[in-house]
Amino acid sequence: MSDRILRIGSFLRGLWLILLSSAATTAAGGAISHSSFGKLPNGSEVTIYTLKNEKLEMRVMTFGARVVSLKAPDANGKMANVVLGYDNLEDYVSDNKNYFGAALGRFANRIANGMFRIEGREYHLTENEGTNTLHGGKEGFDRRNWMAKEVPNGVEFTLVSPDGDQGFPGTLVTHVRYTLHENTISIRYTARTDMPTVINLTNHAYFNLSGVGSGTITSERLTLYAAEFTPVDSNLIPTGKVEPVAGTPFDFTHNETIGARIDSDNEQLKLAHGYDQNWVLNGAIGKLHTAARVFDPVSGRILEEATTEPGVQFYTGNFLPTASSQTTSKYTFRSGFCLETQHFPDSPNHSSFPSTELKPNHIYSSQTNWTFRAR
């Protein structure tokens, strides 16, 4: 017991040093403002931050460390919001299905049967999608009100997840930093633990490059820089196989309309009601590489995504609509797409997949960039 106490004490002292070294600074190179976005049922205040320059404007809030909106110009310079979300906090609180714009953790995507083993010990997690644990469990990081501070060109959110949270081992301290530089949004994730654990962080923004409320995303054109994907079973859990995309509806190695093959007579598409699989990216893990490029022929907007992660979950909004939205009408079926950069789903249960284990005295680090252009 005394060793455990000493270990926790050492960890907390390390955390204190981290917090001291990252004291609030004045943002530079773009306007940053913040205001109240309301209060949660427990009375805690939710703050929303606006990052703005001459090219982009993004709002992020403390509840779920979420991207609430993101305005980008079309080919004529007209600004429009291209990220699905809600006008008010109440809708975010009541919606525990869609994860609009949220920072997901401790483990984004699915873990089969809500369990895994690490260093010979079995851990059981909260199950929130049948027998699966999805996006961290019943009370994942998307349901938490994060601490926030301004940093140069952006805002950093911090969350302390205690040992045993949703069944995961170890006290985990996570930082998610959003910064705006020219026409690029950069999302940087870092985390530390005091016990061996697993971690997989991402953002669950839904994009519609024609603008929120403009209809479906099936006419937008996608390139995925991935020659392989991980097929799933009937529970949307990877089978453990890695298969080539060539000759299948999952081949987006060349610019292709999202809706061209989405309703093909393909078992994988039927299981997910569209696309909701993980692609194995061509780039090296830990180095920033291009993951995806999307072009909207209606607005001329282009989204380019780069990441240090080995995979990207491409999801086509197959379980929309929702009851309310920023357009005061329902989000329709397939009215947004997600490009969730991450390690592979259910990685703790597949030794052949890149490891998601995080050990004490190591730092988890990941980065994803969204760059917007128009033509």
Residues identified as active-site: 204, 340
Secondary structure of residue 12 in the 3-state scheme? helix
Token pair, residue 285, equals 């893990």
DSSP β-bridge partners for residue 128: none
Cα separation, 22 vs 27, whole angstroms: 13
DSSP β-bridge partners for residue 135: none
Token pair, residue 221, equals 């054109």
- Can you say how many angstroms the Cα of residue 188 is from the centroid of all Cα atoms in its chain? 11
Give the HSE-up count for residue 323: Cα atoms under 13 Å, Cβ half-sphere. Answer: 7
Secondary structure of residue 186 in the 3-state scheme? strand
Q: Position 7: which residue type?
A: R
Q: How far is CA 93 from CA 39, 158, 295, 326, in A?
A: 10, 19, 32, 15
Token pair, residue 224, equals 């995925």
**In contact, 153 and 29? CB cutoff 8 Å:** yes
Cα separation, 227 vs 86, whole angstroms: 35
Compute the C-alpha angle 363/105/179, nearest 5°: 70
Block residue for tokens 């961290």: 136
